[in-house]
Structure 1
């Protein structure tokens, strides 16, 4: 994907840490942080520009599982995804913000976050992602999940909410409208969640902070 360099982003690579402190405070008290309109507007706009430059060929059908356990499961999730590599300046700006958040969390909470991966997710009208967790307890190295939204003028009647459940027994959950600039951070093992169907195309970025699961000098995940 070739996108013309946008040097106007360069002076903005210093980020306000106040929102990072809000995230840390919420994680300590609740294990989840919902920041309505909390993503810096220039980061959100960069993601929108990056996503807008993608063609349908950049996307692939999402699945479940990793490596040899990966499988397409359209009855569980219906989104299409495109991984963010940082090749464009917009993508690099996003990854720089996530790196700054990772550094702040490690400095304050000593979580040992090692790496980050993320992708664009596009849900066509009517598509969904059924209730699931991002990491099974003791079986994965995903520690924190991050979702941010890119949707202009999203209304409650458009649907597409993220529902976060406190535990396996919770049937009500907390609803998050996928409004532009809102982002959510939560403990990957703790919170089951789902994406409800929407009446219009829905765009987001999903990402995961990982700890180092290296075995015999093979880094997992690779940096």
Structure 2
């Protein structure tokens, strides 16, 4: 009897390199509120969090109304860049498309997404890269508490019927790793994203390229 398995992917910093648009949008949002723009490393450090949580971390000393304005300013700026740049603003990392194709071709494996993006942003990204139909479940920040809360993982498990022991989250931030651990699933940290390797220390496996993903999954699932 075959065992159904699930691979859940983060998006920004894992599947796509959206750093330029994220930094540009955050810069516009802060300038519009006449605030000092956070350093690039600080902006990269909050990628994956829901925007309200991210803004509180980046600007802890401003009123709640300013946090709300920062969120709306970021959304407007990011949407404008998305319309202008399309897929070029968030290119797939090398090897991502081939890895998704290999996994999607396995009848025993289902693919899902758990992202801090909005539904509109994720749908646009999937369409721009021609990835429609690849993911059987897509969980976004609109519908869940911010990472590292395990709500998105739980939703992916319910949608697919896969047991936690057969599910893996692949992500580039400690928020992804902590989310997976909180949900009781295994974790793979990718080192090409927005958090330094040291912040991924709790991951079950670390990989330096998509060409290492299949072997990491086989090890985790006990197939090696």
TM interval, short-chain normalised: under 0.3
- Structure with greater helix share of residues: 2
Given the two structures, how large is their TM-score scaled by the length of structure 2? 0.28
Which structure carries more strand by proportion?
A: 1
Please give the TM-score of this superposition, normalised by the length of structure 1.
0.28
